[in-house]
Structure 1
Amino acid sequence: MLLTKFTHACIRLEQDGRVLVLDPGIFSESATALAGAGAVLITHEHADHYDGPALVAALADSPALTVYAPAGVARDLRVQAPDAAARILDAAAGDTFSVAGFAVRCFGGQHAVIHPTIPVVANVGYLIDDDVYHPGDSLIVPDGVAVGTLLVPVHAPWSKVSEVVDFVVSVRAPHAYQIHDGLLNEQGLAFTESHIARIGGLHGVKFRHLHSGQSVEV
């Protein structure tokens, strides 16, 4: 499976001509990421993960495109794209389904707390083909599975480095790559990733930085 990293939290997976995209947001190159996609998975409603206009355009351009998202996001998207409503489906923790030839399992349920005064929204983490895990904006460790490739939210208003490192160590995937890195400059990103790589490496995790547009086989 080919994994391509786009800016911030967007990931594109390709295998045997099939394409699945996760979290094309307003910081990402959504049009490029969504080109030829058969399915899109959205973890939660925040704009850095959910670019509504880009998805509406993609749904209009591709009659085969299917979107899964938490109920509130799916409802909002069905309002924006009523002609494609049958292809916009709810996803929740505990769900399993197949879409565009990929097997998907859902974990978590809610976004990490940003501040007690800010309402918590739904957040679904997705495990693809029992290998690639995208947690969205949470540090939920998926239970009962052995993750092969972990996508690590390296920085957010809701996290700190120790929590991110503990997440990586707890999941213990053999391979890990950064996501949610759009709010850091080069110095901050290098500093944060050095801790993840060093401590994760002690527990068998090989962490690697991917530049936007860079691909890797997983």
Structure 2
Amino acid sequence: MKITHYGHSCVLVEIEREGHTARLLFDPGTYSTGFESLHDLDAVLITHEHPDHVDIGRLGPLLEANPAARVIADPGSTKQLGDAGLRHETVGKGDSVTIAGVPIQVLAGDHAVIHPQLPCVHNNGYLVDERLLHPGDAFVVPQPPVDVLLLPTGGPWMKASEAIDYLRTAAPRIAIPVHQAGLATVHQQLHQQLFRNLAPEKCTVQVLDHGTTTAV
């Protein structure tokens, strides 16, 4: 499996399957850069409707450049995708799809609470090939533990101790910090060091360089 981080929650996951490399792009949002020129995508998967996870303005041209790519989205993103005339498939908690031979399950259903007076939106956590979990904006715990966890690092719905507790509960082999664009660089580094110091035994915290493809 290869992973490329394009900032915040946007990652490209590549998996070899039956002579083909499945190319799955997650959450191309407003805080992410570098994904715009990608080609040969099999799917674009959107966890939820917030603009830092789906940039409608850049999604249109991306799909024009990738006419065969399926767009998999949560129920809350359906309206804005439809209003923009963008093709998509809607899935929710408990659903599953197979893309280029790779099975993907939807585990989460709701976004983590930002504040009780704010409406709660849908959130899809995607379990890919039973090996990698992109939880979106929620602390969904996979059972059994996954090999690779994309670990939310900072946001208005979370604090560092919650991310650490999530990491310790999920106990993946590798944790890759994501969802960090709202933090100053010094705070990103602080959170990453906390993850390393407090991660469960046999868990490696691996920080990816922007736009660099890494095998995990």
Partner Cα distance (1:44, 1:100) in 2 = 23
Partner Cα distance (1:137, 1:148) in 2 = 19
- Give me the TM-score of the superposition, normalised by structure 1: 0.91
Give yes or no for contact 1:56–1:77 (8 Å, CA) kept in 2.
no
Structure 2 counterpart of 1:165: 164
Give yes or no for contact 1:2–1:215 (8 Å, CA) kept in 2.
yes
- Are 2:181 and 1:147 aligned? no
Partner Cα distance (2:12, 2:147) in 1 = 17
- Give how far 1:185 is off: 1.6
Residue 206 of structure 2: which of 191, 205, 208 is its match? 208
- Give how far 1:208 is off: 1.4
Structure 1 segments unaligned to the other structure (5+ residues): none
Partner Cα distance (1:116, 1:106) in 2 = 25
Structure 2 segments unaligned to the other structure (5+ residues): none
- Give how far 1:54 is off: 1.8
Matches within 5 A, 1:1-218: 1-15=1-15, 16-29=20-33, 30-32=35-37, 34-81=38-85, 85=87, 88-142=88-142, 144-200=143-199, 202-218=200-216
How many pairs are equivalent? 211
RMSD, aligned CA:
1.5
Partner Cα distance (2:92, 2:60) in 1 = 22
Give yes or no for contact 2:39–2:65 (8 Å, CA) kept in 1.
no
Partner Cα distance (1:10, 1:62) in 2 = 17
- Give how far 1:23 is off: 0.4
User: Residue 207 of structure 2 aligns to which amino acid in structure 1?
Assistant: H
User: Residue 59 of structure 1 aligns to which amino acid in structure 2?
Assistant: L
Runs of 4+, deviation exceeding 3 Å: none
Give yes or no for contact 2:175–2:205 (8 Å, CA) kept in 1.
yes
Is the deviation greater in 89-98 or in 51-60?
Answer: 51-60
Give yes or no for contact 1:111–1:121 (8 Å, CA) kept in 2.
yes
Relative to total residues, which structure has the larger helix share, 1 or 2? 1
User: Residue 205 of structure 1 aligns to which amino acid in structure 2?
Assistant: C
- Give how far 1:217 is off: 1.1
Give yes or no for contact 1:104–1:129 (8 Å, CA) kept in 2.
yes
Give yes or no for contact 1:19–1:39 (8 Å, CA) kept in 2.
yes
Is the deviation greater in 147-156 or in 68-77?
Answer: 68-77
| Aligned partner of residue 158 in structure 1, secondary structure | coil
- Give how far 1:66 is off: 0.6
User: Residue 14 of structure 2 aligns to which amino acid in structure 1?
Assistant: E
- Give how far 1:52 is off: 1.1
Partner Cα distance (2:76, 2:144) in 1 = 27
User: Residue 135 of structure 2 aligns to which amino acid in structure 1?
Assistant: P
User: Residue 76 of structure 2 aligns to which amino acid in structure 1?
Assistant: G
- Give how far 1:193 is off: 1.1
- Give how far 1:210 is off: 1.1
